[in-house]
Structures are given as C-alpha cells and as structure tokens.
A = this chain, B = another copy of it.
Amino acid sequence: MNSLSIRDIAKMAGVSVTTVSRVLNGYPDVSEATKIRVQQVIEECDYQPNNAARNLKRTHSNTVGLLMEGSATPFITDLSDIIEEEINAHGYALVPHRVMNGVSGVDTAVQLVMEKRLQGLIICGGYFIHSLEQLQRLPVPSVFCTTTLTGIDHAAYSSVHVDDRQAAMEAVDYLCSIGHRDIAILGGIEHDQGGVSSQRLRGYCDALSKNGICFDPAFVRYCGLFTMQRGYDATCELLASGRRPTAIFCVADELAVGACKAIFNAGLSVPQDISVMGYDGTEIARFYEPSICSVRQPKEGIAKKTVEVLVSLMEKKGQNRHIVFPTEIVTGGSCASPRKA
C-alpha cells in the first residue's frame, strides 16, 4: 500500500489535495471533522506521506515550475526553452510539467509545488482557473504567461501576454483591407471560457463588424486541438460546404499549414484562390511554401518579462503586475487580394 499518493488519499477522504497537505502539516485552518476523516484514511491505508511534501515548510529549493496545458505546440515549446534560459540566468532551476486535458490543473500545481518544493509557478494557459477561490489555492507566487484570467480581480495575480482579441482583430482587419469579405475562421475549443481561442474569435467578430461584414456561423470551424490534421480536416469541410471563403484566418500556425495543404489538395492555390493567415509567428509559418502570413507574438520579450515578474514576486520586491505585449503581422506569400468575381 506504499504506492498511494496524496491524491489517492484526498480522493478516498473526499477532500482536496491541499486539505490533506494541511492536515499532514498541522495547519490550523482545517475543521476537526475533516481532520479526523483524513487521518482515518491515512491510518487505514498505512499511507506514508512523501516527505518532500512535509518538508515544504522547512526547506526551499531554488526551483520554479512551468505548467503547460495540453499537448506541446511548437510555440509553447520555443517559449519554454527561452523561459528555462531566463530562469537559469536568475539562479533558479525550471521543472517543466504538462497538464493533460481532463486533469485538474490546480491539483496538479499544488502537488507539484509540494513534491518539488517549488518557489514559484509559471502557468502557460489558464483554462483551469475560473474563480478567485481556485486561484488562491496556488500556494506560491504564480505568473500567467501568454494568457490572462477573465472575471478575476487583477490585483490577485500576475500575467504577461498579448492582447489576443486586439491582435486577431488587426489580422482580420488586414484581410478586409486587401479586399476580402468572405473570411472564415479556424478556431480552437468551442467553449473555452475566456481562453485564447475565444479571445481570438472575438477579435475576428470585431473586425467583421468594423468592416460592415455580417457574421456567418458557417464560416466558423472549431478544431479543438492546434494540429495540422485538424486544420486540414476543417478546411476540407469548408471547401465541401458550397460556400467557399476567399480567406481563412487560423488561430494557430499549425492549423494554417493544414488549411494550405487542404487548399492545394483541392487543386486550388494559395493565395490566388484562397488567402491563409496564421497566428503565433512560428518557424513553420516562415518555412512553409508560400510563407504563411501570421500574427507574431514576441516570445523572447514575453518569456523574459514573465521571469522578471515572477522573480520579483518570489523575492518580495514587487507586487502583482499585468504586462501586455504588442503583436505584429508578419506578411508572407499566403495572403493577397481576392480575384475579381
């Protein structure tokens, strides 16, 4: 029975991992009933707590965790490489950790902090935080990177990101400015509650509205994951739907690559028949043929500022801050004015 984790105990006692940890560490803010229930489960299971967790209060490592949600995209992989360099330059080590879909990010964060005795967290993606209560469960200073939280008091957390809504608006406005009016969007997750996908969809709507174009639900495709295959499949659907766009705005470069390939495979050309715009400004957009026009996020700046803000929080030299970086449209061969009808 020694292979039980703190999560197993929490599950069996019907409480959170944090609560189990608080009982183990003798925190006063746990009700007597809860304390007894947790201790019973621990005794019944002959649970040996991981001592690293119990050492939390006594010892600290110079280690920072990096939580990344979902599968690694090239943009996030590049970003995490720069974050690691920066963290090392500040005398800390980085523990990267991916949170898989369907796993509670807050529980993962709490467990990781205890096991690795982390002093701080960098969180790429924030789909799993929907309330101030969830946010406050994070036991160490945390900075949200490339994302922000919606509906939560800004004073309660830090973030370093771009204005995804504004950036998407500018990208689609650019497509309008060169003559497009039938513009489709390949989005991410349909109901992501304030995540980057929904921000980019809003920006798309803003641009249509600004240019007097009616929103057409048939031009919106949710891809779920940011993969080339998903972009390919969604574009095949669009092309088969009978109402063909003259341009496609993709909320990630991988989707844009898939979109281009679907267009080529349908015997059409990019950009002559359909223009394609990506997002993130990654290597693959630059090296595709034609190069894919994209919204560049300044990943070096974002990574450095994220580390700077976190270090100042950990060393108690600063307060929560929110830094918004500008984006820029990187032009490429994938966008041109539509053919005259």
A60 with B287: in contact, given A52-B50, A72-B72 (CB under 8 Å)? no
User: Which residues on the B side are within 8 Å of A318 (C-beta)?
Assistant: none
A2 vs B63: C-alpha distance when bound (angstroms): 13
Q: How far is the CB of A254 from chain B (nearest CB, A)?
A: 8
A227 contacts the other chain (Cβ, under 8 Å)? yes
Q: Mark A240-281, 1 if CB is under 8 A from B, else 0.
A: 000000000000000001101100100000000000000000
Closest residue of chain B to A73 (Cβ to Cβ) is B77
Q: Are A51 and B60 in contact (CB under 8 A)?
A: no
**Alpha-carbon distance A228/B74, docked complex (angstroms):** 12
B77 lies within 8 A of A81 (CB): no
**Which among B71, B228, B264, B287 is the interface contact of A228 at CB below 8 angstroms?**
B287
Say yes or no: A62-B228 contact (C-beta < 8 A), given A51-B52, A257-B284, A257-B287.
no
Name the residue of chain B whose CB is nearest to the CB of A262. B287
A154 within 8 A of B: no
Per-residue interface assignment for chain A, residues 70 to 99, with 1 indicating a CB less than 8 Å from any chain B CB and 0 otherwise: 011010010001001000000000001010
**A34: CB under 8 A from chain B?**
no
Residues A286-332 near B (CB distance < 8 A): 286-289
Q: Are A2 and B228 in contact (CB under 8 A)?
A: no
A3 contacts B48, CB within 8 Å?
Answer: no
A55 to chain B: which residues have CB within 8 Å?
A: 48, 50-51
From known contacts A62-B3, A77-B77, infer whether A287 and B52 are also in contact, taking CB-CB under 8 Å.
Answer: no
Question: Would you give the 0/1 interface string for A7-27, flagging 1 where the beta carbon is closer than 8 Å to chain B?
Answer: 000000000000000000000
The verdict on A58 contacting chain B, using a C-beta distance below 8 Å, is yes
Given A71-B81, A228-B287, A289-B264: A61 in contact with B5 (beta carbons within 8 A): yes
Contact A3 B287 (CB under 8 A): no
Bound Cα distance A61, B52 (Å): 14
Q: Which of B59, B77, B115 contacts A2 (CB 8 A)?
A: B59
User: Does A229 touch B at the CB level, under 8 Å?
Assistant: yes
Is the beta-carbon distance between B71 and A3 smaller than 8 angstroms?
Answer: no
Distance between Cα atoms of A100 and B95 in the complex (Å): 12
Given A258-B287, A287-B257, CB of A2 within 8 Å of CB of B58:
yes
| Distance in Å: Cβ of A5 to nearest Cβ of chain B | 7
Does A283 interact with chain B (Cβ within 8 Å)? yes
A232 at the interface (CB under 8 A from B): yes
Mark interface residues in A31-61 (1 if CB within 8 Å of B CB, else 0).
0000000000000000010111011001111
A2 to chain B, nearest CB (A): 4
Contacts of A51 in B (CB 8 A): 50-52, 54-55
| A77-B260 Cα distance, complex, nearest whole Å | 23
Residues in B whose Cβ lies below 8 Å from that of A58: 2, 48
Q: How far is the CB of A302 from chain B (nearest CB, A)?
A: 19
CA gap between A264 and B288 in the complex, in Å = 10
- The docked-state distance in angstroms from the alpha carbon of A74 to that of B257 is 15
A67 to B81, CA, bound (A): 16
Q: How many Å from the CB of A312 to the closest CB on chain B?
A: 19
